[in-house]
Each structure stands twice: as structure tokens, then as C-alpha cells.
A and B are shown apart, each in its own frame.
Chain A
Amino acid sequence: MDPLQIIFFIFAVITLVAAFLVVTAKSLVHSALWLILALFGVAVLYVLLDAGFFAAAQVLIYIGAIAILFIFAVMLTRKDLRDAGSQQNGTWPLAAVLAVVLFAGLFFILSSWSSFGMPKPDMPAGANALSDLGLALVSANAYLLPFELASVLLVAAMIGAIYVSLIKK
């Protein structure tokens, strides 16, 4: 195995274990902390995919903002959910079976795909992914509409969330 493969393997395992703990940990704050580790592992994989911008954005948005929001939400809804008792609902064996079946199905479908095991091609010369992305985001024949819509979506989400969380009983 070459070094990159080892790094990938280590972080993939860390991420998956952390993800598993996210969905099984009893204390919700621990869940949130494991979630942060899992998201960080994903950021490392982005670096391995030559997407440094997404790695930094992942850490900034997910760890810096979304995870904090989760921790706040856990603290705000704390009263009745002590860390005692099962955090799993009654149908969890069914859910586990479903998840395993889905993974097996995905594996089956993917492995019959011709370019499943394709090696990483070299980056085309002269391409600057970052400024290309910036250009595409504001080009009318590329992603201008989603770009502006994302902004409007976020505004709507923010106003809605503020309204929902601030209304009195």
C-alpha cells in the first residue's frame, strides 16, 4: 500500500467508527462530538481528492457552525431527556437490517459498474478549480440561478427559523 492509501484507510475507518458512535451514543452531547470527528474525517478525504477548498469549507461550516448549532439545540432541549434509558426506538433492529441491505445492494450495483475501480486521473493542466468554480457560479449559462437561489433559500430559512424559535407559547 502506498502512503496515500494508508492515510485514506485510517481516516475512512475513523470516520465510519465515529459515525457509528454518532448514531448509537447514549449522551447526545457525545453524539454531537463524535459527529464533529466524523465530519473532520470527511474533510481529510476532501484533501485527498484535491478539493482543499471543500475541506476548509467543511471544517468552517460543519464543525464551526452546524455542530455548534447541534450542541446548542441539545442544551436547549435537555430537560426531559436524561442520558439514561435507551436512545433507540423499538424498531431499531429493522432499521439495522434495512441499512445493511441497502449497503449490500449499493455494493452489488456499484461493483457491476465498469469504471468502479478506475484510478485517479491527473488534473488537466492549467485548470484552477477554485477560480473556475467562482466563474461558473456567476455565469448565466452555468450556475447563476442556483447561486442566487441558494442565497434566497438561506434567507428564507433564517427568517423562518427565527420566527419559529422566537414565538412565545
Chain B
Amino acid sequence: MEFLRDPISFIGNWLEGLLLGWKMAPSAATALIQLLGAFIVGTFSLALVIFTIWVERKLYARIQDRLGPNRVGPWGIFQTFPDMIKIFTKEYITPDGADKVVYNLAPILTVSAVILLWAVIPFARTVVGSDVNVGVLYIVAVGAIGTLGIIMAGWSSNNKYALFGAFRTISQMVSYEVPMVLALLVPVLLGRTMGINSLVEAQTVWFAVLSPLAALLFFFSAQAEIGRAPFDLLEAESELVAGYQTEYSGLKFGMFYVGEFLHAFTVSALTASLFLGGWRGPGAEQWPILGMAYFFVKTFIVYFFVIVLRITMPRLRIDQMLNFNWKFLTPVALVLLIATALVEKGLQLVGQDSMVLRTVVHLGMNLLIVWGTVEILRRSARKERQRVSEPRPVAIAPQTQASD
């Protein structure tokens, strides 16, 4: 019974007892179990990619009225394995003039940075890798390491396209980190903590309900951070060959691919944890295994939207991409942060701590900001339409002016 309720920490406790029984020092036993846990979480996250690649390809195909993978196994579910065998036996080609060490380190760093995020994601109340008290900051910091992998890939390839792709990527990722961090400050403010598991525990009402705008801001800026459509300017095939991965081949290229897919799923898991209550759900406190189920259901729902967004949106132009960030997401996030702080403090000063009131006030404030934003957007869109529809000078215009 105990085992069924919470298999993972049951096994953990059993193992610890066993190791201590073997006269092992307690600190060494803890370290060993943590090592094992780290190994399992890492393996699990990589194994997940095999599945998510299939999900994504199938969904992609269905939306485009194709069948998608359908040969290997039922519904083609094992399609990824032959692909893996293929990519494992592909030759590595290192371009002339590449900086060997940096060139080989870059794909490793890119994938590592994504897997590292799983260290702080809580799967259930008791199944948490590590609840460091700076979890949110850790997430952002690890994202910075990913940026580094990309610039290393671009620089070391000794290729103009790669370098251009890397530079574009950096300016995109770096720009979108600003609204992302701002959006992350909202849950920290609402939960008064930075630990991810503590944040999940603080969500008696989901933060997506308390502050839907923050959830949306995080979701969109995270999409840009992953760098796939509609924000896939970094590897815009028609412009930059393949961006920073141009000169990579074989499994080194495959690693970038794995990193991208895993990142998409990880971001969904983060959204689910930070805004959709993570493992919370009826009975999850007593039955941690239920919590895991809730967590994965929520994650896959978010992941579905990530895929749909990727499939249905066209690529943005670079100026549109930057405008969307600096002139839309960032100001909105700043206003939201100020308003959230004011509302929280106001409620505290009035002495109202009923959850219903808090929810209603926060939700109303969010809707107000949304309304204001839409109003401003409508006006600027009207202006933009007028500006574009006005007759503009074309190539021959200077001549006609000169003859006047």
C-alpha cells in the first residue's frame, strides 16, 4: 500500500536504509542516492524526447493532412529508433578552420543546459530533484548557459551563415529573456518564494487563474527562447541555411535537434509547474503518484499548444520579432508587475486574506490590463494601416522630383 501511494520515495527510503545497514556513512549514502536520482531524472528526460519527437511528427502530419510516421510499430510509434540508428552511423564532418574543442563542446553544452532544467522540476510532492531556494533564478541562469552553447557553435564553425545565425539567435534569446524574467517575478511575488516546489505548494489557486497574463507572457517568451516557429529566425532555412548548426553533421547535429525538442517539452513542464499548479490536484497530497499523473497530463496539454503554435504560425521577420518583444511584451510585463505588487500589498493592508477576493481582484486587474493593451494596440494598428496605405515613393520618384 505504502509502495503504491508513493513508489519513488519508498524505493529511495528503502535504498537509504539498505545502504546505512551496510555501515555506510550517512552523508555518503545521501550522495549516492542523489547521484542515482540525478541519473534517473537525466535518463528519463532524454528518453522522453524519443516519445515527444514521435508525438510532434504525428501531430504535424495530421494537421497537414498527411499520415506521418506509420511504418515502424503501431502508428509508427517506434519510428524514432531507426532514425536514431541512422544518425548514429553518420559521418562527422568538421569544417576546415573550425576551432575543434569549442566546436565539439557546443552541442553538449546546448543539450546539457536543457536537461539541467529538470533538476528543479517537481514531479510530485515528494518526488523533487532539488528544491533550492533560488529555483526560479536557477531556471533563468541555466537558460543563459544554453545561449552560450549557441554562440560557441556559431563562432567555432568558421562559417558566415553559422555566425550570422548565432548572432541573430543571441539577440533574440537575450531580448526575450527580459519579459520572461519579468513574468517569472509575478509567481515569485504571489508565492513569496523562489523554490519551484514551494511555488507549486503555494498554488491553492493556480497562478494561471490569479494572473493569466503572466502565464501568457511566460509562454510566449519561452517559445522565443526555444527558438522554433514562429520564432525560428535563428535557423531560417531560406535565409541562413540552418543557422548556427550549418556545419554540424551526424549526432552532433542530432544533439541540437534533441535539445530543441526537449526544450519545448521542458518549457511546457515549467509552465505547468509554475502556473497550472504542477502536481496539485484532488488527492495529490496523500497519493504522490496521482500528483505525477496530474503533472504529466498538464504538461502534455501545454505541450499540445506549443506544437500547434509551431505548426500554424508563419515565421516572423526580425524587426517584427524584436518589436513584439520590446514594444509589446516588456511594457506589458512591467505594468503587470507593478499592478500585481500594488494589489498584493493593498489586500494585505486592508487585511483581506480570503482566497476568493484575492483571485477576483487579481483576475480583474489582469483583465483591465488586457483591455488597455488591446485598446492601445487597436489605435497603433490603425495608424500603421494608414501609414502603409499612403502612396509611397517608388524607385522612380527622385527623378520626377528633380524635374519639378
Spell out B's residues near A (CB within 8 Å).
27, 102, 132-134, 137-138, 140-145, 147-148, 151-152, 155, 163, 167, 170, 174, 177, 194
Contact = CB atoms under 8 A, between A and B. Distances in A.
A64 B133 contact: no
A36 B133 contact: no
A52 B195 CA distance: 12
A130 B194 CA distance: 10
Given A29-B155, A56-B138, A63 B132 contact: no
A63 B134 contact: no
A38 B129 CA distance: 27
B140 A60 contact: yes
Contacts of A130: 133-134, 194
Contacts of B167: 72, 75
A64 B155 contact: no
A3 B155 CA distance: 38
A33 interface: yes
Contacts of A67: 148
Interface string A47-71: 0000011011101100111011001
Interface in A59-118: 59-60, 63-65, 67-68, 71-72, 75
Given A3-B27, A63-B148, 16 more contacts: A53-B134, A56-B134, A56-B138, A56-B140, A57-B137, A60-B141, A64-B140, A64-B143, A64-B144, A64-B148, A65-B144, A71-B151, A72-B170, A75-B155, A75-B163, A130-B134
Interface string A17-42: 00000000000010001001000000
A68 B151 contact: yes
Contacts of A36: 148
Given A63-B148, A71-B151, A56 B102 contact: no
Closest 3 CB pairs of A and B: A64-B144, A59-B141, A56-B137
A166 to B, nearest CB: 15
